[in-house]
Amino acid sequence: MSGQINAFEMAQKQFDGVAKQLKLDPGVAEVLRWPMREFSFRIPVRLDDGSLRVFQGFRVQHNDARGPNKGGIRFAANETMDTVRALATWMTWKCAVADIPLGGGKGGIIVDPSTLTVNEKEEMCRGWVRAMWKNIGPRNDVPAPDIGTTPQMMGWMMDEYSRLVGQYTPGVFTGKPLGGGGSLGRTEATGYGVIYTVREAMKHLNIDSKNSVAAIQGFGNVSQYAAAGFVEMLGGTVACVSCYDRHEKKAFTYSKKGGIDPRFLLTIVDEYGTIDKAKAQDAGYTVEDGDAWITKEANVLIPAAMEGQVTADTVNKMSKNIKIVAEGANGPCTPEADEYFKKNNIFDIPDFLCNAGGVTTSYFEQVQNDMNFYWSKDEVLGRLDEKMTSAFNGVVERSEKEKVYMRDAAYMVAIDRVVKAMELRGWLTGNA
């Protein structure tokens, strides 16, 4: 499904619509709708069987007016330059709407990491750094994990960078393991951030969270903790989760009468988000086609897998009781889906607001690296809750003031902040 959608074209279309509403200067709009820098490079890796294989790597730096570029590194077989461009662009808006002093970046390698051994993954991580080390760093570009990458991989990458620059530099990568420069609370951050925004949306709409049911797509890091948070923080029920099975090369939806148990599923999932189907069935779970998640009876929909999943084709399969769509993934809902949400009075929490918990806590991690002093988990999550709540309320206020859709309001907040930073730095005066 996502392969049929160009994520960067979607990101540009979203931006163009809001730029017109803001009456943004055409030249300024042209600056913001394209990344400032793009890197494309080859990474030779010696495999365990002795053969040498070359992989395609990317890094895109969209805009660093507000601070160093920030964004994950994705290892995926379907990675493209346009996907990386879109994700870097969304990261600029994400950092701005969360009001953290960072810009937007994203990177990746075209590879299915589940096909690699531990040694091969380490060599690939180090190879990516060797290709990019002169163009990343704590003060210009700070990568982090994304789909297909892990805290351990960030640890290897940080180590390789530190070797190359000749000093221990933990702040160059975030999402690192605990004990290796990582932050408490980072693992849960993106999923919990989704739930903080859902909680605030329910308050705004006067919805009782304890009588709410969520249908969730995905069971990677974001979905895992969004599911747990929906049950444990909000007292709601999760009807289902879906996940891509790397063994069978297809997606499945997992549901159970009375709701799933996220903590149980966490005990039978691998590092790439694949649930052990046999163990789930033994525990009484129903396993269906991967697209079944969107059809489940619920009032909250949380697409938290890949971009381009809620489309003109799939949106009509949603339960008619859906009141909130919380975009845990980047770019999961197409502009056609947005039109459906507007028509049916569905409250959308846009991706770069909803899933900003990860980058916000990555920022906290970098601050702790700089101080060489680390906060408790409660401190980290408390600061995250405060940031996410403030960001949500700011977007709602803009939405009500301008009488615009939530996604447009989030863009307005973010674009205003980035343009202001560009003005303050003199980028738009002709003297920069």
DSSP for 62-112 reads EE-SSSSEEEEEEEETT--HHHHHHHHHHHHHHHHHTT-S-EEEEEEEES-
Average pLDDT value for residue range 86-94: 96
At residue 430, the pLDDT reads: 64
Average pLDDT value for residue range 396-404: 97
198 plus 327 within the same structural domain: yes
178 plus 221 within the same structural domain: no
C-alpha dihedral sign at 112, 113, 117, 122: positive
Average pLDDT value for residue range 339-366: 96
93 plus 148 within the same structural domain: yes
Distance CA 94, CA 10 (A): 16
Distance CA 204, CA 90 (A): 25
pLDDT one-digit tens code per residue, 97-114: 999 999 999 999 999 998
At residue 4, the pLDDT reads: 61
At residue 431, the pLDDT reads: 60
Is 294 domain-assigned? yes
Residues spanned by the domain of 259:
187-349
CATH code of 242's domain = 3.40.50.720
Q: 140, 155, 184: which is the final residue of a domain?
A: 184
Active centre residues (catalytic): 106
Say which range, 57-61, 198-202, 267-271, 409-413, has the weakest mean pLDDT. 267-271
At residue 3, the pLDDT reads: 47
191 plus 178 within the same structural domain: no
pTM: 0.92
Average pLDDT value for residue range 3-32: 91
Say if residues 395 and 409 touch (Cβ distance below 8 Å): yes
Q: How many domains are contained in the chain? A: 2
Average pLDDT value for residue range 60-86: 96
Say which range, 240-254, 347-361, 411-425, has the weakest mean pLDDT. 240-254
Is 234 domain-assigned? yes
250 plus 148 within the same structural domain: no
234 plus 323 within the same structural domain: yes
293 plus 329 within the same structural domain: yes
Is 428 domain-assigned? no
Residue 401 has pLDDT above 50, yes or no: yes
At residue 424, the pLDDT reads: 96
Between strands 213-217 and 141-145, the pairing is unpaired
149 plus 241 within the same structural domain: no
343 plus 257 within the same structural domain: yes
Distance CA 301, CA 215 (A): 5
At residue 271, the pLDDT reads: 81
Average pLDDT value for residue range 75-79: 94
Average pLDDT value for residue range 50-78: 97
Distance CA 368, CA 394 (A): 26
Q: What b/e sequence results for 273-291 when a residue is b if at least 16 CB atoms lie within 10 Å of its CB, and e otherwise? A: bbbbbeebeebebeebebb
pLDDT one-digit tens code per residue, 116-173: 999 999 999 999 999 999 999 999 999 999 989 999 999 999 999 999 999 999 999 9
Average pLDDT value for residue range 296-316: 93
pLDDT band at 249 (very low <50, low <70, confident <90, very high): confident
138 plus 240 within the same structural domain: no
At residue 5, the pLDDT reads: 77
195 plus 343 within the same structural domain: yes
Q: 316, 349, 382: which is the final residue of a domain?
A: 349
Residue 2 has pLDDT above 80, yes or no: no
At residue 429, the pLDDT reads: 83
62 plus 105 within the same structural domain: yes
CATH code of 157's domain = 3.40.50.10860
